[in-house]
Amino acid sequence: MAFINIFKKGEKSGKKNAAEKKELTAKKAAPSVEAKKESAKKYASSNVSAILKHAHITEKASRLSENGQYVFVITARANKNEVRKAVESYYNVDVVGVNIAKIPGKRHRRAKGISQDPDLRKAIVTIKKGQKIELLPR
């Protein structure tokens, strides 16, 4: 009999539940700026090392750094959004754009056969003008 009473009470309390649900969704819909910053900090501590392997320092990369573009070696499964969040949170800069390039490993002929270097995936990150990332400590 208690099972039938649930349906009878549900009609009266159903309106209250709908109003309560609307209030809860309104509160959840607009996250504050502070909440976004806290989530970025959590992201920074957990995923940066899993996405960015290291900075790719070459002559071309040093020329690009003069224009506000920096090159990083990234993991094979990282996408542009993950790279953007990782760089912004780790280096505290504003990222304007991210380009990703896949570079196949070179083949080398050895005494007993052919060996191959591992493939490389790099991200060229463009940051806002006036900001700078110091990759090598002076």
pLDDT at res. 36: 58
Give how many domains the chain has, as a whole number: 1
Domain that holds residue 70: 35-127
pLDDT reading at 107 higher than 60: yes
The helix/strand count (H/E) of the chain reads as 4, 6
- Asked whether residue 28 is domain-assigned, the answer is no
Global pTM exceeds 0.85 = no
- Asked whether residue 2 is domain-assigned, the answer is no
pLDDT at res. 74: 95
Measured in whole angstroms, how far is the alpha carbon of residue 58 from the centre of its chain? 24
